[in-house]
Chains A and B, each alone.
Chain A
């Protein structure tokens, strides 16, 4: 029983991390129909930014959240205006967007190696190993914070999308970009903002990841793939769907250790990805427009 509780808590905490990482990817895909292969690189960049802020100026990672959000947003907006904007849209843009953003990821990795070398880094604060005890299980404080953010983000996004003009514009653009121009919405501006928002969320995820484990410039590919699983599983553009999908992925992965050797549990997520794509490409919750 204690084992079950342990696993359940592990799964929930891990789901928080997966969800936080996937939101940015899902947002960009939901609105722009672009698969951001640079997502892993942005996560890595966010982690390093947080690390630099902590090491150089002693800013606690949770306090540097606004800084990382803003910096990642600006970076993402720049990425969009300089590069992504020029991509051909529609089906033909498929491989092109993948390859372009993959190129961006490689460049980010290179920058990481040049600036920070390949050494592994961590952020160590006084509370890095602190944990809260619950039902005989210990939950690391950092992970609880990630979980909290994983819950707050969809709420925040939901409010943004439903209660603000910008949100309405984003939803409109996601549904039918052509008609939006007719009603006076600057589609390119919305795309820029959305892309920036997506990368901001990715950067935030990176910062949070840096408080939990060590990382180096090669970091991000595993996280990217898990994010894919969450986005695809959760259905196109549904934020709450993604949160639920993250939970499902985490539960399956975590409880797999009961039946699989620990090493093979690493393959579970990838197998799920393939299965979902093949069996239900619309995701577990069907195709739904952003909301």
Chain B
């Protein structure tokens, strides 16, 4: 670790998580909000994990839906066969997705746009293949899971736990030596190799972890909806969702993706019912504005505002 882990930071983080965990118990939250938050936690976990690859390492993947989908269907199959209880099925799903992510090893040599384009290819190819593979995914009809209201209610805390863990891991990762090594790779691969940071090894590691977490998230997603089908889980829109969430929140920041995921879910929910399709224009516009003016997205915006407030306060004092 770089420096000591700040006690206050950990306490604050744990405090926030505990607060959110207590909300459904303390307040009379409607099932709709309860479910919406659950879904938000899942998206938070997914976008945080995507950000490890896209933000920390700097390799933007447009094909993460592949791992998400594999995780979802593995979990669904395990649950349907009764072999494992849901939580274990999710973990198994994450493991399988992680192993599959290792298969991307040859692609990790590619830099920048080449890598991204390759991930699009993988994403689309897997969508077609998994839609065809009826034995695994049920084909275009998808898979239906048994209805379990208790599990769906508990998913709030499973999802929160997952999101909390992934968020904490992101933070630790950033502060660790490993995080520094990733930054080095992101900045200049050759120079990093010169100082002994093997790009291939670390990228494999992070891609595997990122894929595993996204696969795990897919498992919870399957339990949440109790019906999944390939074009939804493996679709290009799904991959794009991860990209958008991380970029809008702050590509490469530690907690930015959380913000991005929340905004993403809320926007779709509240805007869509009243101003449909606006979300396309909105996300597009946001992307453009963010890339041109504030690459750190909403986090960057927030930090700028905070700085201005601080400066104004200091100015007033003197």
Contact = CB atoms under 8 A, between A and B. Distances in A.
Q: Do A and B touch, yes or no (CB under 8 Å, in the complex)? A: yes
A225 B124 CA distance: 9
B295 to A, nearest CB: 7
Chain A CB count within 10 A is highest, among B54, B58, B128, B284, for B284
B107 A277 contact: yes
B285 interface: yes
A138 interface: no
A102 interface: yes
Nearest to B279: A110
A162 B132 CA distance: 48
Contacts of A83: 288, 292
A145 to B, nearest CB: 29
A278 interface: yes
A271 B121 contact: yes
B308 interface: no
A99 B243 CA distance: 9
A267 B125 contact: yes
A137 interface: no
B280 A95 contact: no
A92 B117 CA distance: 16
B295 A96 contact: yes
Nearest to B291: A100
Contact of A261 (B109, B112, B132, B286): B132
B254 to A, nearest CB: 18
A273 B236 contact: no
A221 interface: yes
Given A263-B128, A270-B121, A270-B124, A99 B247 contact: yes
A105 interface: yes
B136 interface: no
A274 B292 CA distance: 30
A240 interface: no
B121 A35 contact: no
Given A98-B116, A106-B284, A110-B284, A87 B291 contact: yes
A277 B121 contact: yes
Contacts of B114: 232, 277, 281
Nearest to A103: B287
Contact of B281 (A107, A232, A261, A278): A107
B14 interface: no
A245 to B, nearest CB: 14
28 contacts: A35-B113, A35-B116, A91-B111, A94-B111, A94-B113, A95-B58, A95-B60, A98-B116, A99-B243, A102-B243, A103-B284, A103-B287, A105-B284, A106-B283, A107-B284, A107-B288, A110-B278, A221-B236, A228-B117, A263-B128, A263-B131, A263-B132, A264-B132, A266-B128, A270-B124, A273-B117, A274-B125, A277-B118
Given A99-B290, A113-B277, A113-B280, 14 more contacts: A91-B112, A100-B287, A100-B291, A107-B285, A110-B280, A110-B284, A232-B117, A264-B129, A267-B125, A270-B125, A273-B117, A273-B118, A273-B121, A278-B109
